[in-house]
Amino acid sequence: MIRRVLPHGMGRGLLTRRPGTRRGGFSLDWDGKVSEIKKKIKSILPGRSCDLLQDTSHLPPEHSDVVIVGGGVLGLSVAYWLKKLESRRGAIRVLVVERDHTEYLAVVDAPPLDLRFNPSGYLLLASEKDAAAMESNVKVQRQEGAKVSLMSPDQLRNKFPWINTEGVALASYGMEDEGWFDPWCLLQGLRRKVQSLGVLFCQGEVTRFVSSSQRMLTTDDKAVVLKRIHEVHVKMDRSLEYQPVECAIVINAAGAWSAQIAALAGVGEGPPGTLQGTKLPVEPRKRYVYVWHCPQGPGLETPLVADTSGAYFRREGLGSNYLGGRSPTEQEEPDPANLEVDHDFFQDKVWPHLALRVPAFETLKVQSAWAGYYDYNTFDQNGVVGPHPLVVNMYFATGFSGHGLQQAPGIGRAVAEMVLKGRFQTIDLSPFLFTRFYLGEKIQENNII
């Protein structure tokens, strides 16, 4: 057990400073000073436009109570709940730093939010060896109020006559309030909402943390070093320029690159086998998604089907199109250095399983494909939530290994509660803390896709 102090200013406004000053002696009212200087130069050089001073509107603010690294759905969910749960409107300044601006195209002029939810349900298929785990999972789901049915192979064929039940011992089917939605629409809607709540955005890359250190003793008198981040350096896009941002809290929601962000803060810098030497076990894993056309396919009532082989598919739109793929084995893992699509992977590793399960897919024609990254937790494939035990003001919302979109609303609230209240309140997510990596306590989940 470590004797530690909560981040300064909890419950009173996170960042405190002397009015009118910042490190290096610059005035906080920089924009006002720039305006005054421009006016003076214009008076000296009448008739000429003043371009001698560079526009700084693209820079992040000089200070922010919370800096969220990563503008994906998890980072935006944390931003939303921080503003939703703040004690009064405007009490907390939140900055989201995102290095990939393409996530934000067309957001400002987007139509009213429509997630395009399709309630066709999930149909999970289990082999003989996985049937008991499926029954156990469904029992838990039913206890929590989910309407899920278990089906034998005969019941499965009666419900979905287009399916081949070879190798299927049991199936689970979500009958109500279960399906899929458009993730792009959710990202757009979240960004518009948090902007309306006053969250600031910056396109750039976090390259450095400035922190202080304090030597502490554990309850068994072992020395550890606690760190606190005071400043985030943000390198601006297509520039050598960077902007320091003073902060009280850093949220690491950088997805596939969150381990790099953690390392910048000193996470994992210590002897192997110690808490100080425990790294964040998250890395980018490349995944392919394929879209194919099949007029003879299952049709409009097709659920999302997860096969015993790991292949999955669902209907995409109304034109006999389907979307799907399969996660590779460890031996099949592709190089994550680029996002090129391997079409042979579909031909050799996906299509045979699809055609076996749905004979109509023998005649499918691939229309398009793309690749993306999972923030893959190599330890137990589950998320990392909450504060780091030694970098005391860095909080995690990462490592969800492909399930971040589904879990983002709850994770955002949990992280915001931990930041503002010092504990999880709505759902106890303490099993997902960083310390489990040091303790070797894996969270096992069976029959996941």
Instruction: Collect the ranges in the chain with pLDDT lower than 50.
Output: 1-13, 16-28, 30, 41, 46-53, 104-111
Any idea which residue has 């350096």 for tokens? 233
Cα four-point dihedral sign 168, 172, 173, 179: negative
CA distances from 269 to 303, 311, 428 (A): 47, 39, 29
pLDDT one-digit tens code per residue, 267-278: 999 999 999 999
pLDDT, position 101: 56
pLDDT, position 396: 98
pLDDT, position 115: 79
Can you give the pTM of this predicted structure? 0.84
Any idea which residue has 């050089």 for tokens? 45
pLDDT, position 39: 54
pLDDT, position 280: 98
CA angle (126, 127, 130) in 5-degree steps: 70
The b/e string for 177-188 (b: 16+ C-beta within 10 A; e otherwise) is: ebebeeeebbbb
Instruction: List the structure tokens of 165.
Output: 């039940």
Helix (H) or strand (E) holding 205: strand 200-217
Helix (H) or strand (E) holding 195: helix 183-196
Residue 349: DSSP 8-state: I
Are 284 and 376 contacting, i.e. CB atoms less than 8 angstroms apart? yes
User: CB neighbours (10 Å) of residue 151?
Assistant: 19
